[in-house]
Structure 1
């Protein structure tokens, strides 16, 4: 299973905010530190803010901050939210393509669905705080550019 870039970026933004030595970095600071386009980072930050996982304040003294909910957020729930509900494969067909001729008797779709749920179930008990615990947190600080 491959995560969307937005999911990967959301996880990295939360991890960065969880260990940052820079109080209240801006979205631009985070985008620069992660070497991603500002527009992509801004979309992800807006979604994380909407989810209540971080705060974003504009102007002097503004910046991004991780909420307590963001620190204790389930990685599985976060990945589900960004990846969306849906199957690993598109058996119904998309616009312009026919549905799979095996769909009425296919066992692959069910197996893939179970594997996907096992993937999420493994991530559900893991929190953002867990993924930045030693040795990851200090390493993240060491590779983050200094303000």
Structure 2
């Protein structure tokens, strides 16, 4: 996912402040994800679970990222697509509902780890991070298709 982000930053970075802001927030989210998941280059020599506080901080970033997409970025992209022809409009209308499906995974993860009163929930973290990682990867691919439209039509 970090490699895909780097490609996106190289392709679209610097062309639009909205895109730059969004990609920067994606980078923060991915780095934090890799840290709590222990994915290189953030793997730990000790095999221990992250602190609950660390997981909750990740959840905050996750919800912020998801919310920003739905309440700021997608609306602007969809509006722009509507102004630029039927093919752009159809693409946006197809992608946004598919992205929304990944939102459910993110919110379920957030709810599970922020509302739990029991630290034992962390024993499920690896499995849940794996599922979330798949959803995030799908989301980023779909978002990148929206970014392509935004970049092509409005930069």
TM surpasses 0.5: no
- TM class by shorter chain equals 0.3 to 0.5
* Higher helix fraction (1 or 2): 2
Larger CA Rg, structure 1 vs 2:
1
**With structure 2 as the length reference, what TM-score do the two structures score?**
0.35
TM-score by length of 1: 0.37
